[in-house]
Amino acid sequence: MLLLPSTLISLPHPGLECARSSRVLLQYTSPADHMASYGPAFYQSYGASGQFSHEFDGEQLFSVELKKREAAWRLPEFGDLTRFDPQNGLASIAMIRVHLEVLVERSNRTRAINVPPRVTILPKSRVELGQPNVLICIVENIFPPVINITWLRNGQTITEGVAQTSFYSQPDHMFRKFHYLTFVPSADDFYDCKVEHWGLAEPFLRHWEPQVPILPPDITETLICVLGLAIGLVSFLVGTILLIISTCLSGAPRRRGPGRLGKESR
C-alpha cells in the first residue's frame, strides 16, 4: 500500500509559516504486517527550523534537524543496523521550504489555532532517596513545533544532566517531545518542568517531588508505646525465669562426698 496524503499548510503564529510534507507510508503484508513511514517532515519560517524523520511501526528510528544537519538515532543500536545520509533529509526539508513559499503566495490562508500542550512528569524507575534516577518530562499535543522546555530544581534552572529528543509525530498531526533529567532524589529537593509555548498564556510548570512516606504523629507515638511495652514484657519474663532457676538451685540438697560418709558410719 502506498499512501500520499495532501500537504498541510498552517500559520500558527504571526509571521510564521509552517508546512508539513506528505507522509509516505509503505505497508508490507507478509507473515507480519509492518509499516514504514518517511515523515513527519516539516519546515517553518520562524527561526528557519525544520525536521525530517523516519518511523517504523509507529516508532521513530531517526531524525535530521535542519540546524544540526546530522542524523540523530533514537537509540544508538539503530545506527548499527542501517545507514542514512543526512543530505537526503535536508533535501526533503529544502523541497518543503520551496513549496511553502509558493503556496503562501498563492493561497488565501488563515492562521491556525495554537494548541496548549499537555505536560506529564514521571521517574524512570522506582524512587529511592539517595539512589540515582531519571526524571522524564513528556510534552504532548505540541503545535506548532516551536517550544522551550526547561528543568528547575528548587526554583533554579538546571543545565547539567539534561537531554531531549526531537519532535515525535502523533496520529492527530501534532507532536510530542521528551526531556530527561538525571538526578539523585533527596527529601529536600523538588523539581519542575517549565514549558513555554504560544498556546499558553504564561509559562507552565509541572511540579514533582519525591513522595517520602511520613508517619503521622499519632502512629509514631503508638509504635513507641508498643515497642516499650514489648521490651518491658520481655524483661519481666526473663527476670521471672531467672528467679525460678535461682530458687530451684538454692533449695536442692547438696551431695556428700565418700570420705564424710565413712566417718559418720563409724
We report the CATH number of the domain holding residue 74 as 3.10.320.10
Task: Tell whether 66 and 139 lie within a shared domain.
Answer: no
Task: Tell whether 86 and 21 lie within a shared domain.
Answer: yes
Residue 224 resides in a domain: no
- pLDDT, residue 134, reads 96
Task: Tell whether 63 and 85 lie within a shared domain.
Answer: yes
Residue 254 resides in a domain: no
SS3 264: helix
pLDDT in tens, the chain (266 residues): 222 333 333 334 434 445 554 444 444 444 557 666 666 677 776 777 777 777 766 677 777 777 676 776 666 666 556 667 777 777 777 787 777 777 777 777 666 788 899 999 999 999 999 999 999 999 999 988 889 999 999 999 999 999 988 888 887 888 889 999 999 999 999 999 999 999 999 999 999 999 866 555 566 677 777 777 888 788 777 778 877 777 777 665 555 555 554 544 44
**Residue numbers of the domain that contains 86:** 2-106
Task: Tell whether 193 and 155 lie within a shared domain.
Answer: yes
Residue 113 resides in a domain: no
Residue 257 resides in a domain: no
SS3 190: coil
Residue 36 corresponds to which cell in the numbers above? 514504514
Which position has the grid cell 526539508?
A: 93
CA dihedral 140, 142, 145, 148 (to 10 degrees): -70
Whole-angstrom Cα distance, residue 83 to residue 197?
34
Q: Which pTM does this prediction carry? A: 0.62
In DSSP terms, 180 is beta-bridged to: 136, 163
- pLDDT, residue 8, reads 36
Does residue 216 have a cis bond before it (omega within 30 degrees)?
A: no
Q: What are the DSSP E strand ranges found in the chain?
A: 2-3, 8-13, 16-20, 24-29, 33-38, 42-44, 49-56, 59-65, 71-73, 118-123, 133-142, 148-153, 156-158, 162-164, 168-169, 175-183, 191-196, 204-208
Task: Tell whether 99 and 140 lie within a shared domain.
Answer: no
Residue 233 resides in a domain: no
Is 29:43 a contact under the CB 8 Å cutoff? no
Task: Tell whether 85 and 160 lie within a shared domain.
Answer: no
Please write the tens of the pLDDT for every residue from 194-228. 999 999 999 999 999 998 665 555 666 777 777 77
Task: Tell whether 60 and 23 lie within a shared domain.
Answer: yes
Helix (H), strand (E) at residue 254: none
Task: Tell whether 9 and 102 lie within a shared domain.
Answer: yes
Is 51:66 a contact under the CB 8 Å cutoff? yes
Task: Tell whether 19 and 88 lie within a shared domain.
Answer: yes
Instruction: Select from 125, 114, 99 the least CA-distant residue to 43.
Output: 99
Contacts of 88 (CB under 8 A, 6+ apart): 52
Instruction: Select from 79, 31, 40 the least CA-distant residue to 58.
Output: 40
- The DSSP symbol for 124 reads S
Provide the number of structural domains found in the chain. Answer: 2
- pLDDT, residue 184, reads 94
Whole-angstrom Cα distance, residue 88 to residue 90?
5
In DSSP terms, 49 is beta-bridged to: 44
Is 151:162 a contact under the CB 8 Å cutoff? yes
Residue 151 corresponds to which cell in the numbers above? 528543568
Whole-angstrom Cα distance, residue 74 to residue 161?
18
Residue 9 resides in a domain: yes
Task: Tell whether 137 and 180 lie within a shared domain.
Answer: yes
Residue 211 corresponds to which cell in the numbers above? 513522595
Residue 19 resides in a domain: yes
Mark which of 106, 141, 157 sits at the end of a domain.
106
- The DSSP symbol for 185 reads -
Task: Tell whether 8 and 96 lie within a shared domain.
Answer: yes
- pLDDT, residue 13, reads 42
Task: Tell whether 67 and 137 lie within a shared domain.
Answer: no
Residue 261 resides in a domain: no
